[in-house]
Amino acid sequence: MSPQRHPPDSPEEWLNRARSDLALARTRGQDIYLEDLCFHAQQAVEKAVKALLLRRGVEFPYVHDIAQLMTLLEEAGQQVSVSVREAERLTRFAVAIRYPGMLPPVTLEEYQESVAIATQAVRWAEGIVQGGGG
């Protein structure tokens, strides 16, 4: 079942995309590289943070740097906990890891940690957007 669509500039639609990427990140299979799943974990966080930026009316650059996006979010008045800031570590999965030989293969532990970090960040963003917190 597909999620309910929202306008492309709505925080809810960006959260839908974040949840979709998170679901893809959890989809392990015989022919799927862990690096590709970690990319989707990174994308989940990136889109969740962009949902919060939209909620605050902040224009954001189309970049993959989670630290840069979280800094923009903090500058807009959103408190970001140290545990959520852990998601900045996923930025390394945005580009180079997706290409053969640029970085070492992802271990199972790194993959599991990445999915856990992304899950926490997406839940945090959902709580703010859906709960009106901030």
- Of 51 and 4, more confident: 51
pLDDT for residue 24 is more than 80 = yes
Second-level CATH architecture of 11-131? Up-down Bundle (1.20)
Q: Are 118 and 44 in contact (CB under 8 A)?
A: yes
Q: Is the pLDDT of residue 133 over 70?
A: no
Global confidence as pTM: 0.94
Structural domain boundaries in the chain: 11-131
Given a cut of 80, is residue 120 above it in pLDDT? yes
The answer to whether 18 and 73 have CB atoms below 8 angstroms apart is: no
pLDDT at 21 over 80: yes
Give the per-residue pLDDT at 8: 87
